[in-house]
């Protein structure tokens, strides 16, 4: 996949900013003290859907509407945040949205997608099963299928990375969670477009290790996605294009455990009073895991989203088992 250049990212920003403002990047004294470095948190939990996914959905669906003005609707598969982005973008562009989620998906993410006007369909035991069902559903209905990884999604996510890299002082390293890969590829695109040397470190859940294992051996490996706390990282089968880009652009991948993610969620609340869902706190978990080597550095930490169910978040804050 060819990464978007600076003019393409700026064009995507112009589109995104019609519907949402830039999100902030802040350095928090308590986070800096905890990590022993100067850390800049990119607050993608502050978008209108509480996660970065809206950016890519706006760029992707805008192009769909432009190229297929007769199109009636779109189908997407999601664990929640991409579905919220697609649902909102579809509503803005006058499209019907059918969103497929795996059974047992986040109750509050499901409510949020319905609130955007989407039809919600529960199918499959994990994201990959929902994804395969959604593709067939789109064909049956004559709707467009919203790919979960695509160059246009990368253009959209690169807009937050450009904000971070231009808005913060020069960063030596940035930690980025990996779901299917559009976020970390967008960070690589923005870094390259600006001619920076910032090291990019990917983060996966130890209980969803497909990308980490594939990255290590240089070929696509499927692995169970069993993380309970970080549903946005629960990918069983990597995307081949994303994997190739990640291997070419990313220094390494850090795996973080369930308890490490919970600790990071608590740390972000205690130090910044921001809510981070499990996947959204994964970058902070990796930074905490590597804090002994961060002394004196300036690093970026991408808080990709804050959409966590109340009961689950309460359990994390109280340091008890998530229901």
265 Cβ contact partners less than 8 Å away, ≥ 6 residues apart? 276, 277, 278, 281, 308, 313, 316, 317
Domain stop point among 121, 145, 169: 145
**Residue 99 domain boundaries:** 53-145
Same-domain pairing of 218 and 86: no
What is the per-residue pLDDT for 143?
Answer: 97
Pairing relationship of beta strands 38-43 and 25-26 according to DSSP bridges: antiparallel
Supply the CATH number for residue 119's domain: 3.40.50.1100
| Per-residue pLDDT reduced to its tens digit, 141-156 | 999 999 999 999 999 9
Q: What is the pTM of this model?
A: 0.96
Phi, psi of 256 (to 5 degrees): -120, 140
Domain count, the chain: 2
145 sits in which H/E element? strand 144-145
Same-domain pairing of 226 and 155: yes
pLDDT band, residue 299 (cuts 50/70/90): very high
Phi, psi of 71 (to 5 degrees): -60, 135
Same-domain pairing of 201 and 250: yes
As a whole-number percent, the residues of the chain with pLDDT over 70 amount to 100
Domain stop point among 79, 112, 145: 145
Same-domain pairing of 86 and 204: no
Same-domain pairing of 224 and 268: yes
Domain stop point among 107, 125, 145: 145
pLDDT band, residue 120 (cuts 50/70/90): very high
Q: Is residue 1 situated within a structural domain?
A: no
Same-domain pairing of 130 and 230: no
Same-domain pairing of 118 and 129: yes
Mean pLDDT, to the nearest integer, of 40-57?
A: 98
Q: Is a pLDDT exceeding 80 seen at residue 115? A: yes
Same-domain pairing of 168 and 137: no
Q: Is residue 113 situated within a structural domain?
A: yes
Mean pLDDT, to the nearest integer, of 243-269?
A: 98
Q: Is a pLDDT exceeding 90 seen at residue 321? A: no
Same-domain pairing of 30 and 64: no
What is the per-residue pLDDT for 323?
Answer: 75
Same-domain pairing of 131 and 242: no
Q: Is residue 323 situated within a structural domain?
A: no
What is the per-residue pLDDT for 322?
Answer: 78
Asked if residues 127 and 102 have their Cβ atoms less than 8 Å apart, the reply is yes
Q: Is residue 277 situated within a structural domain?
A: yes
């Amino acid at each position: 996949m060819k990464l978007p250049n600076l003019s393409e990212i700026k064009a995507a920003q112009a589109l995104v900013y019609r519907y949402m403002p830039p999100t902030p990047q802040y350095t928090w004294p308590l986070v800096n003290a905890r990590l022993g470095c100067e850390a800049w948190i990119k607050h993608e939990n502050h978008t209108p859907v509480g996660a970065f996914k809206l950016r890519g959905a706006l760029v992707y669906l805008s192009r769909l509407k432009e190229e297929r003005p007769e199109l009636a609707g779109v189908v997407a598969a999601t664990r929640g945040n991409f579905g919220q982005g697609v649902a909102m973008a579809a509503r803005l562009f006058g499209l019907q949205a059918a969103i497929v989620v795996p059974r047992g998906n986040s109750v509050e993410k499901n409510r949020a997608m319905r609130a955007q006007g989407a039809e919600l369909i529960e199918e499959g035991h994990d994201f990959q099963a929902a994804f395969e069902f959604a593709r067939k559903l789109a064909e049956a209905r004559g709707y467009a299928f919203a790919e979960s990884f695509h160059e246009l999604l990368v253009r959209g996510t690169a807009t937050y990375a450009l904000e971070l890299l231009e808005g913060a002082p020069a960063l030596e390293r940035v930690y980025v969670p990996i779901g299917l890969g559009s976020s970390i590829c967008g960070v690589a695109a923005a870094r390259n477009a600006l001619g920076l040397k910032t090291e990019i470190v990917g983060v996966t859940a130890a209980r969803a290790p497909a990308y980490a294992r594939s990255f290590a051996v240089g070929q696509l490996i499927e692995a169970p996605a069993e993380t309970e706390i970080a549903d946005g990282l629960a990918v069983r089968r990597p995307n081949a294009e994303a994997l190739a880009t990640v291997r070419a652009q990313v220094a390494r991948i850090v795996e973080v455990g369930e308890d490490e993610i919970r600790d990071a969620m608590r740390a972000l609340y205690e130090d910044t009073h921001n809510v981070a869902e499990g996947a959204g706190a994964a970058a902070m978990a990796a930074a905490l895991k590597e804090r002994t080597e961060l002394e004196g550095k300036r690093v970026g930490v991408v808080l990709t989203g804050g959409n966590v169910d109340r009961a689950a978040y309460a359990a994390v804050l109280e340091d008890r088992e998530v229901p």
